[in-house]
Amino acid sequence: MPDAIRVEGVCKTFGTRKAVDDVSFVLPEGAFLTIFGPNGAGKTTLLSMLSTLSRPSKGTIYICGIDAKEESESVRASIGVVSHSSMLYPDLTAEENLVLYGRLYGVPDVKNRAVNLLDAVGLKHRRLDQVRTFSRGMIQRVSIARALMNDPKVVLFDEPYSGLDPHATQVFDNLISDVRKDRTFVMVSHDLKKGMQLADHVLLMARGRAVCFGRKDKLEPDELNHLYEQTIGGGVA
């Protein structure tokens, strides 16, 4: 299958500290990659570079065959991002936020697209309410809808379950199932059970480096669990 994401020798330094250190992997179209690792492992920094919000200090990233450093605008048209920041305007309604985002990318029939996605995340009844009136979990659901407005080929999630109650978690799981076909997902997660449930590829990071990468069905569960426990405990260099 064609590559959705190709990461080649990527490094990111902040002063003398290497947040990401020589990471390489190839992810095929339609894959779901979960990135695990302790705090400070470089997971979010790597996701930031995949989303073009940050540029590698060294190395190259290709998204759908496009150089993310040289053609970042083209890459942004092909991706959706859910990060720790909602990227929503609190004084606009949920619908207005999605319509504004959709217009930036020339989404056809943008209002209906916005309403349908808000329905999919269980917030159609609140579509005309200002985002500032929403709970943390509701804001997260609007962020997920926003990330899908431009019908992206690649979707990047940084701890998407953060702030979601059990009902919202089920809504999110159902949405991922509905839109998974022909899309590639990358998710950063601390939740080993949920992350493994969704993934078909796994990347384990520690101290900025890739400790383990591969298809989930090719990795021995006991070995992966052992590596995960070592990494979380700081035992893996």
Read off the tokens for 106: 């020339």
Domains of the chain: 1-78+154-159+184-237 (3.40.50.300)
| Cα→Cα distances 106→8, 99, 150, 171, 177, Å | 31, 10, 8, 27, 25
What percent of the chain clears pLDDT 70, i.e. is strictly above it? 96
| Statement: residue 226 has pLDDT above 90 | no
pLDDT, position 184: 97
Residue pointed to by tokens 């606009």: 92
Bridge partners of 154? 79, 184
Strand arrangement, sheet containing 154-158: 79-82, 154-158, 184-188, 32-36, 201-206, 209-215
Using DSSP's 3-state secondary structure scheme, residue 82 falls into strand
- Name every residue whose Cβ is closer than 8 Å to that of residue 225 and which is 6 or more positions away in sequence: 192
| Statement: residue 110 has pLDDT above 60 | yes
In this prediction, residue 192 has a pLDDT band, given cuts at 50, 70 and 90, of confident
pLDDT, position 171: 86
In this prediction, residue 236 has a pLDDT band, given cuts at 50, 70 and 90, of very low
pTM to 2 decimal places? 0.90
Sign of the alpha-carbon torsion through 188, 189, 194, 195? positive
| Statement: residue 190 has pLDDT above 90 | no
Condensed to tens digits (0 to 9), the pLDDT of residues 125-139 reads: 999 999 999 998 899
Read off the tokens for 235: 């035992």
In one-letter notation, the amino acid at residue 83 is S
